[in-house]
Amino acid sequence: MTGATAVAPSRRDRLASRWVLAGLIVLAVGLVAMLVQRQLPFSPYDEYVYFDYLTKVPTQGTVATGEEVGDAARAELECRGVSSFGPYGDGCGVGDVADDALFPYHGLTGADIYSPVYFAITWVAAQPLTWLGVGLLDAGRAVGGLWLAATVALIFLSLRRLGVALAPSTGITLVVLATPVVQSAFGYISTDAAAITAGAALAYVTARILTGSTSVWWLLPIGVLGVLAKVHAIGALGAALLIVAIHTMLVHGGWRDRRTWLRVMLPAVAAGVAAMGAQLVWTFVRSSRAVGEGAQLGVGTPELPPDQLLRQLAHVVVHVGATRPVEATASATLAVALATAVACAGLLSAIVGRSGEPDESAKVARSWAIGTLTLGMIMIPVLTLMVFVLEGIYFDPPLRYGAALLPFLLIAAGSLLAHSRWIGVALGAASLVLVVLAWT
């Protein structure tokens, strides 16, 4: 990563970068549109209750704890079923949908833990498609293409902002598209899309802060919005804040200077406090609106095994882009292996340092790596503890809970591949093959 010492790119380089960026955006939208055309069953990652939330945005704004899933979502579930679980209800178009026992969670919603941020944005963006006769479910899924386009654009721009050459920037961004968690998050209605997009936005702002292009205060509104969209985005915000703090230490030798405190550390602390405060406010609002007992998800125990927390320390870092410990297809397994190898090599390269790298570049790369690795290690255990404290239960969280850190982890690879044109081309070619296999 070249950091603040980067030489201004030539006009030809800027033009090529714009064409590549446009191509990545078109690819992202096209991949999701292609997936939506297949009329797939509901995703097993709670898409059924997310769709119910989406249908209620214009009339209710939110869903409440203890609320029943509406008829629209139940009817869609009877016709589509759930991937890996099969059909529910009496059958497509057969009978009514009033029997709660025939539906997941005995007919109750499980999406009440979420604020309306993701669902409201998705509903608004889906309206033009519904005006053309597309059903709300398919329209909502298609909006995932816009979420994904924003994500890949922000990751690509972050890499370029940090001085990574065009070929490796493209290759790393294509690795993102190949990962299973991206397909499950953006190919369906999923709050994971908001978490990953928030992570990409926070990564881009962090890159601009490290290169002296923007104020640390921008982390506050983006962090608050991201955490309200999905609380797991707190990991990405934590990484951004830690990276900024470490970079300040490396560049200024600490933050005892009052001006440095006011310019950097004050807005960083304010961003973290505001995000946590916003989530606490939503927790209070959710509790005050409850209409009954929440859905019994059938997972968790009342005891917290400390050894499990230790085992979770490396989950995010050694399973980059995964949705489960063992992926369902060979291409998905290869994509996770590639993403993990690239990210870990980048982290190690940045922390150890590379000879001949400019001092400022090394500080930027090392700050990014240490902050990302630290949050990658502690994110899942911290989320586990939060759930245990708030809900009184322990359950082994899925790997996709760390998806908000995906942009930070793969951008770290830029420190290793900053100027490796041919390695970048090879990485892009391999990733493109995995993208085609995964999405088609």
The residue extents of the domains of the chain are 3-38+117-289+299-439, 42-112
Q: At what angle do helices 47-56 and 136-161 cross, to 10 degrees?
A: 100
Q: How many CB atoms sit inside 10 A of residue 299's CB?
A: 10
What is the three-class DSSP state of 37? Answer: coil
| 198 touches 234 (CB < 8 A) | no
What is the three-class DSSP state of 59? Answer: coil
Q: Which residues pair with 82 in a beta bridge?
A: 42, 86
pLDDT of residue 6: 47
186-200 pLDDT tens trace: 999 999 999 999 999
Which two tokens mark 314?
Answer: 């490396």
pLDDT of residue 187: 93
pLDDT of residue 5: 45
CA distance 227 to 88: 33
Low-confidence ranges of the chain (pLDDT < 50): 4-7, 355
pLDDT of residue 369: 94
The DSSP letter of residue 80 is H
DSSP string covering 370-412:
HHHHHHHHHHHHHHHHHHHHHHS-B----GGGGGGGHHHHHHT
| 87 touches 119 (CB < 8 A) | no
pLDDT of residue 251: 80
Residue that the structure tokens 């090392």 belong to: 366
User: Which has the closest alpha carbon to 304: 383, 404, 375?
Assistant: 383
| 207 touches 215 (CB < 8 A) | no
pLDDT of residue 356: 53
Q: Which residues pair with 382 in a beta bridge?
A: none
DSSP string covering 228-271:
HH-GGGHHHHHHHHHHHHHHHHHHHSSS-SHHHIIIIIHHHHHH
DSSP string covering 222-234:
HHHHHHHH-GGGH
| 406 touches 196 (CB < 8 A) | yes
| 291 touches 65 (CB < 8 A) | yes
